[in-house]
Amino acid sequence: MQSTSYKLGRFFLCRLKHDSKLTRSIVNFAREKRVKMAFFTVVGAVKQARLAYYDQVEHEYQKIKLDQPLEIANCFGNLSLKDGKPFTHVHAVLVNKAGKTYAGHMIGATVFAAELHFQELLGKKLEREYDQTTGLALWEFGGL
């Protein structure tokens, strides 16, 4: 296992704008506040969402289009750097009006109303790099 330790930085509570893009808003917020690493949760509701399931054999994301209003039952993510820029990795569990749940890797969603709890982490910059074994951009701790 590779790891490194971080200190807690600023903690933000934020209200995302109606009709904004969930993941893009978080990246923009990180840029604005000059945050390089963070983890966060989101509660609220979205108007539509795109989730994905990563096919471990084909090394491809299979997209799940959800064109309906959904509650965010759980949404958790982290922010690190990819190609030197803030990059989010977000997973979510979403629920429709019938109580049916959808879960997976979040590509994006349009906010109806959402609250963001955002914890900045201070320490060594954490970059994502392409990993041949999985085909994913994974955290690279620099030979630890």
Binding site for Zn ion (CB under 5 A): 105
Pairing of strands 127-131, 70-82: parallel
Q: Shortest CA distance to 108 belongs to which of 20, 16, 18, 14?
A: 20
Closest CB to Zn ion among residues 11, 55: 55
Least distance (Å) between residue 52 CB and Zn ion = 8
Closest CB to Zn ion among residues 19, 83: 83
Closest CB to Zn ion among residues 18, 59: 59
Least distance (Å) between residue 79 CB and Zn ion = 13
**Residue in the shown chain whose Cβ atom is closest to Zn ion:** 105
Closest CB to Zn ion among residues 36, 89: 89
Least distance (Å) between residue 75 CB and Zn ion = 12
Least distance (Å) between residue 63 CB and Zn ion = 13
Question: 3-state DSSP call for residue 48?
Answer: strand
Q: Shortest CA distance to 130 belongs to which of 60, 80, 82, 91?
A: 82
Q: Shortest CA distance to 63 belongs to which of 101, 105, 25, 95?
A: 105
Count of Cβ atoms closer than 10 Å to residue 54 Cβ:
14
